[in-house]
Amino acid sequence: MCKAPSVFDAANTTSDAITADYSWLTSSFLADVRDWELDMAADMLDVTTLSTTTAATVFRSFAVGLQEATATIDRIASTGTTGPAFFDRFTLQQDLVVELHTQWADKYEAYARVASDSFANPLDALTEEAVTLQLDGLVGYSTI
């Protein structure tokens, strides 16, 4: 996934060469994810205009404003020696690429930042981690 979209200018016909700068991100797999949830929302802006002569406007009108998305990942916390999976990204505020795969062989993909990371450590069950991700920019959808 490329952080910035690539733009090619077809009007430049003096050269056949195209130069593109890309950075590759390290891939990793997050095991023990039990479930995830993706919530997308948009601000609804009130654009109702009221008539001064007939007062015929009965219903409000809305337009879509800014959009946002958050993802929540519930997982069994790792017992490895590397520490909690999201703790470093949370404290350093590093962005990450998130791919949320469904059971129907498709996925959602976006850049994200860790908004919260919480742990539950009951005496009679596995340690659980709940991570909330604030998605940053566009959310992509594709089949695998």
1 band by pLDDT with thresholds 50, 70 and 90? very low
Indicate whether 16 pLDDT > 70: no
Query: Per the structure block, which two tokens stand in for 122?
Result: 């009951």
Mean pLDDT within 92-104: 82
Report the first-to-last Cα separation within the chain, whole angstroms: 14
CA gap 14, 27 in Å, rounded: 38
**pLDDT on residue 94:** 74
pLDDT tens for each residue of 49-97: 776 666 666 678 899 999 999 999 888 876 554 556 666 666 667 778 8
Cα distances from 88 to residues 50, 53, 73, in angstroms, run 53, 62, 16
Residue ranges per structural domain of the chain: 33-143
**pLDDT on residue 3:** 47
